Copies of this chain bind each other. A is one copy, B any other.
Amino acid sequence: MTVNNFTKKHKVTVIGSGNWGTTVAKLVAENCAEHPDTFEKDVQMWVYEENVTLPKDSKHFDASIGEQPQKLTHILNTYHENVKYLPGIPLPHNLVANPSLVDAVKDSSILIFNLPHEFIGNICRQIKDHIAPYARGISCIKGVSVTDDKIELICNYVSDALNIYCGALSGANIASEIANEQWCETTIAYNTPLVDRRDENGKPVVTGESNDHTKQLTPLPLDYPPLDHNEWSLLFSRPYFTVSMVSDIVGVSLAGALKNIVAIACGYVEGHGWNMTAKTAVMRRGMQEIIRFANEFFPGQIEPRTFWEESAGWGDMIVSCTSARNWRCSKLAVERNLPIEEVEKTELNGQKLQGISTTREVSSFLRAKGAEERYPVFMAVERIIDQEIKVEEIPKLFK
């Protein structure tokens, strides 16, 4: 690490403290402690406050408190463990739980968004007038917002809502494994805004000639260390978490969202007793449709190699279609001969399967665009969910 002379350091806030949010907060806090020249040591984590009762067999049980409910932020800051959403994982002591969203984001130059995507609109409204104007974001939220006539990336929604720049993190990642420091990879897409780019001497590179819309952003002040691929990599890379930096936010976001449709298809195929070769054929065709979709609806905005070579592309596809939740529930739906929505109710403690809503939204969008014929996998999944067609018909449909 080279010593630099910037008078400011990046202050980091993680917005969200669920299973994935706490996991990311843990590794980011580890890095902030290790790189004090670039980052402030303490990392803020906004926690949606709730009361938690520690059971008697908890190692944090305190007889003097007994079974009285305690605030989750208090537990986090006292015992350095998220007993509710990431139990058993010791958290770094420089990770500070904060129940006030507005206070947690105050003066932060780095905002990491990591909460269910239905909450993002409300969160942005609450923090809009309280963030640093030069703040930069990374969205760890997979998903796109789709209506019949529009599809929007979550990270672009954040950028627009807050008038900052926001990139995206996505990859073949399972939170509990990363929390346990089992090695995997991820992809971060961040297309450094023109106003933030600096030359070898640390001077801004912005010129009067460009029409890049990011020129309208408030630049990151020059007394901060730069915030480009190197620094994002420094913030997220751990020995157990290898980061690949790209600039393609569209490819990373679409791959992360659309692969859930394919994962549902694979669960059906596997539940039906078909083999890995058949499942692989579905994955391959699903990937072709994701790339076709990206080229058709975001022309000129993707790098095909994101899908082919990145963890956020084929890597995430493989893990999602062999180990993750959408796959598991659609497999159970076949095995139990139930609609997948019934499995969702019994298996997910009230949480929703992202893949079902993505399938319905994307199918509806494709119908509105008259593009159904070019997307036989995507369209078939909705019809299988609705039990209009049987899994056995897949090879015929995919001709």
Task: Write out, one digit per residue, whether chain A residues 88-123 have a CB within 8 A of any chain B CB (1) or not (0).
Answer: 000000000000000000000000000000000000
**Does A274 sit at the interface, judged by CB under 8 A?**
yes
A281 touches B184 (CB 8 A): yes
A311 touches B276 (CB 8 A): no
B277 touches A177 (CB 8 A): yes
A395 and B242 in contact (CB under 8 A), knowing A172-B281, A184-B278, A281-B315? yes
Chain B residues with CB under 8 Å of A287's CB are 309, 314
Chain B residues with CB under 8 Å of A394's CB are 183
For the complex, would chain A's binding face be called helix, strand, loop or mixed by DSSP majority? helix
Interface centre among A280, A283, A323, by most chain B C-beta atoms within 10 angstroms, is A280
Q: How far is the CA of A172 from the CA of B278 in the complex (A)?
A: 9
**Does A284 sit at the interface, judged by CB under 8 A?**
yes
The closest CB in chain B to the CB of A308 belongs to B308
Q: How far is the CA of A398 from the CA of B396 in the complex (A)?
A: 41
Interface size grouping (class) on chain A: 35 or more
Q: Which of A104-159 contact B (CB under 8 A)?
A: none
B322 touches A281 (CB 8 A): no
A275 touches B395 (CB 8 A): no
**A311 interface neighbour in B281, B307, B322, Cβ under 8 Å:** B281
A281 and B242 in contact (CB under 8 A), knowing A276-B322, A318-B276? yes
B278 touches A183 (CB 8 A): yes
Chain B residues with CB under 8 Å of A375's CB are none
Shortest A135–chain B CB gap in Å is 30
B318 touches A185 (CB 8 A): no
Task: Write out, one digit per residue, whether chain A residues 295-327 have a CB within 8 A of any chain B CB (1) or not (0).
Answer: 000000000100111110011001100110000
Shortest A298–chain B CB gap in Å is 18
A281 touches B183 (CB 8 A): yes
Chain B residues with CB under 8 Å of A396's CB are 239
Chain B residues with CB under 8 Å of A216's CB are none
**Does A174 sit at the interface, judged by CB under 8 A?**
yes
**Does A224 sit at the interface, judged by CB under 8 A?**
no
A277 touches B184 (CB 8 A): yes
